[in-house]
């Protein structure tokens, strides 16, 4: 019989005595999906913010897929904000998931996962509040936003699908 040479944290925890239980957001958690469409009817200019969706602070983001029209230009960040509503946002981490990503690459109908454009893959099990740089989890939810960086977007349609797990 062979022995595993490498074990994930989840396996190590499951085999420990006494057993260490894994956080439900990355082991047997419920998968949730949010789909959001942004209609950019006018140019999306440098430093403009587009609110995509709200995420629970205790969620764990697994994918952020974006799809878009035939944009010729557009560079932006995908990150996290706090605030009571979309007109009163405060940046938590402007590029938690993607920094200076080039959205102006033509039509995208197959999707690009932006969840790890900036974030390291070994952070897959971090919770949203940790992705935002919040060490105490003081907010109950965060706003996932697209922020125009240096290159303006022309008018068009962008769609995001966000996959995350919760307890």
Tens place of pLDDT for every residue, the chain, 167 residues?
Answer: 777 788 888 888 888 899 888 888 878 889 999 999 988 776 666 778 889 999 999 999 999 999 988 666 778 899 999 999 999 999 999 999 999 887 777 777 888 999 999 999 999 999 999 999 998 777 899 999 998 876 666 777 889 999 999 97
Residue 20 forms part of a structural domain: no
Total domains in the chain come to 1
Which structural domain, as residue segments, surrounds residue 48? 30-166
Residue 78 forms part of a structural domain: yes
Predicted local confidence at residue 126, as pLDDT: 93
Predicted local confidence at residue 101, as pLDDT: 85
Please tell me the distance from the alpha carbon of residue 78 to that of residue 50, in angstroms, as a whole number: 10
Residue 9 forms part of a structural domain: no
Predicted local confidence at residue 133, as pLDDT: 93
Number of residues assigned to the chain: 167
Identify the DSSP state of 44.
B
Biggest distance spanned by C-alpha atoms of the chain: 64
Predicted local confidence at residue 35, as pLDDT: 96
Please tell me the distance from the alpha carbon of residue 32 to that of residue 79, in angstroms, as a whole number: 19
Predicted local confidence at residue 36, as pLDDT: 95
Residue 114 forms part of a structural domain: yes
Residue 90 forms part of a structural domain: yes
Predicted local confidence at residue 14, as pLDDT: 86
Please tell me the distance from the alpha carbon of residue 76 to that of residue 149, in angstroms, as a whole number: 5
Residue 3 forms part of a structural domain: no
For residue 8, with 0-12 CB atoms within 10 Å meaning exposed, 13-18 middle and 19 or more buried, which class applies? exposed
Q: Cα separations (Å) of 44 from 19, 73, 120, 137?
A: 51, 10, 28, 31
- pTM assigned to the model: 0.87
The CATH number of the domain where 137 resides is what?
2.60.120
Please tell me the distance from the alpha carbon of residue 109 to that of residue 94, in angstroms, as a whole number: 25
């Amino acid at each position: 019989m062979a022995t595993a040479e490498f074990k994930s944290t989840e396996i190590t925890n499951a085999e420990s005595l006494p057993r260490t239980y894994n956080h439900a957001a990355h082991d047997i958690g419920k998968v949730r999906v949010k789909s959001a469409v942004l209609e950019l009817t006018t140019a999306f200019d440098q430093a403009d913010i587009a609110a995509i969706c709200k995420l629970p602070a205790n969620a764990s983001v697994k994918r952020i897929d974006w799809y878009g029209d035939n944009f010729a230009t557009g560079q932006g960040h995908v990150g996290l904000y706090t605030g009571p509503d979309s007109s009163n946002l405060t940046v938590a981490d402007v590029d938690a998931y993607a920094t200076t990503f080039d959205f102006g690459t033509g039509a995208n109908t197959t999707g690009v996962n932006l969840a790890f454009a900036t974030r390291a893959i070994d952070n897959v099990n971090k919770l949203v509040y940790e992705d935002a740089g919040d060490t105490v989890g003081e907010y109950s939810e965060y706003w996932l936003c697209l922020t125009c960086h240096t290159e303006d977007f022309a008018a068009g349609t962008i769609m995001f699908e966000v996959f995350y797990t919760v307890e």
